[in-house]
């Protein structure tokens, strides 16, 4: 199934049907050296069927994409998810395991996305999140990178849907707009960012697809979390909550309970 964008919606190409996709992040592939970061079909079944997720975001690390074994593991995870009925986002989280969250890509990111575009050429339902959380660079500089990485992907698959985050650690989408098709704009929303939701991403969501690639909180953030998910509903925004495995956790927490309840209601 090929995805595209139309107006403010993510759509199925074959039918033109708008999709509202909601799920979770499963971290691990960016730092773990266990096979598949310990993921297996049973765990993914719990995520997809037990939590009613129709999309899962998989962070990965750029430096390991040079390994065909690592790419094969990403392909297998995506296949497991698709067999369960879930879409997937591949998210360039780190450049190296030691780098942490980079402010911008580097030239290795071009090779990385070329490799993944070729490796996933037969899976047009996979969304490519070009860089996890751009920060501390001018908008113009991030747009240059976003165009370059999009062009790299589109040289292999001219219709591939890409995801482009805002600045301020992906929160702020003001000024982030690419004049090319099939772009989803990503925001990451956490309690420390305040409530400038309209300015930073909500107004844009009235015009183009805006996806909350990350949001999460702690026990004291339940009221904030409910209000945020109500806001996503009002704006008809897709989202993936953070995180199945890392802080702030979803499994076994009160915040996870309200996320699961919202997923079960969709």
Q: Where are the beta strands (DSSP E) in 39-101?
A: 55-61, 87-94
Looking up tokens 């976003």 gives 146
Q: Could you state, in order of their start, the residue ranges of all structural domains in the chain? A: 21-265
Band (pLDDT 50/70/90 cuts) for residue 139 is very high
**pLDDT at residue 99 in the model:** 85
Q: What is the mean predicted confidence (pLDDT) over 22-31?
A: 97
Q: Is a pLDDT exceeding 90 seen at residue 243?
A: yes
What pTM does this model have?
0.98
- Classify residue 17 by burial, with Cβ atoms within 10 Å: 0-12, 13-18, 19+: exposed
**Residue 182 backbone class (left: φ over 0; alpha: ψ -120 to 50; beta: rest):** left
**Per-residue pLDDT at 5 exceeds 90:** yes
The pLDDT assigned to 216 comes to 98
Helix pair angle (107-119, 139-154), 10° resolution: 30
Dihedral of the alpha carbons of 168, 166, 219, 248, in degrees to the nearest 10:
-90
Band (266; pLDDT cuts 50, 70, 90): confident
Residue 123 near residue 72 (C-beta atoms within 8 A): no
Token reading at 202: 């909500």
Q: Is the pLDDT of residue 232 over 90?
A: yes
| Alpha carbon distance 90, 112 (integer Å) | 12
Percent residues over pLDDT 90 in the chain: 98
Q: With the CA atoms of 193, 194, 200 and 206 taken in that order, what torsion angle do they form, in degrees rounded to the nearest 10?
A: 120
pLDDT of residue 215: 98
| 97-115 pLDDT, tens digit each | 998 899 999 999 999 999 9
Rounded percentage of the chain residues whose pLDDT exceeds 70: 100
Across 52-68, b (16+ Cβ under 10 Å) vs e yields: bbbbbbbbbbbbbbeee
Residue with the two structure tokens 């497991």: 80
In tens, the pLDDT along 158-198 reads: 999 999 999 999 999 999 999 999 999 999 999 999 999 99
| Pairwise CA distance, residues 77 & 118, whole Å | 17
Rounded to whole angstroms, the maximal C-alpha distance in the chain is 46
User: ∠ CA 219-21-215 to the nearest 5 degrees?
Assistant: 30
Whole-Å CA distances, 234 to 8, 35, 143: 13, 40, 28
Mind listing the pLDDT tens digit for each residue in 61-73? 999 999 999 999 9
Q: Is the pLDDT of residue 55 over 90?
A: yes
Fold of the 21-265 domain: TIM Barrel (3.20.20)
Residue 10: which of 138, 181, 143 has the closest Cα? 181
Q: What is the mean pLDDT of the chain?
A: 97
């Amino acid at each position: 199934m090929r995805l595209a964008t139309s107006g403010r919606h993510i759509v199925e190409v074959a039918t033109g049907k708008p999709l509202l996709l909601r799920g979770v992040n499963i971290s691990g592939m960016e730092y773990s050296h266990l096979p598949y970061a310990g993921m297996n079909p049973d765990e993914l079944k719990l995520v997809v069927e037990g939590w009613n997720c129709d999309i899962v975001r998989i962070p990965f690390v750029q430096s390991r994409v040079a390994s065909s074994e690592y790419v094969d593991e990403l392909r297998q995870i995506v296949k497991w998810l698709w067999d369960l009925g879930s879409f997937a986002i591949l998210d360039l989280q780190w450049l190296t395991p030691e780098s942490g969250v980079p402010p911008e890509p580097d030239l290795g990111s071009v090779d990385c996305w070329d490799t993944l575009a070729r490796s996933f050429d037969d899976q047009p339902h996979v969304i490519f999140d070009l860089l996890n959380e751009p920060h501390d660079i001018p908008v113009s500089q991030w747009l240059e990178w976003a165009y370059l990485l999009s062009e790299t992907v589109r040289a292999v698959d001219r219709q591939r849907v890409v995801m482009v985050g805002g600045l301020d650690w992906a929160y702020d989408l003001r000024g982030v707009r690419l004049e090319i098709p099939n772009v989803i704009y990503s925001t990451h929303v956490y309690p420390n960012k305040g409530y400038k939701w309209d300015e930073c991403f909500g107004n844009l969501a009235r015009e183009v697809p805006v996806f909350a690639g990350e949001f999460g909180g702690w026990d004291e953030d339940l009221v904030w979390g409910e209000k945020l998910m109500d806001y996503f509903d009002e704006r008809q925004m897709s989202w993936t909550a953070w995180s199945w495995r890392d802080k702030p956790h979803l499994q076994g927490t009160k915040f996870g309970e309200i996320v699961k309840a919202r997923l079960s209601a969709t």
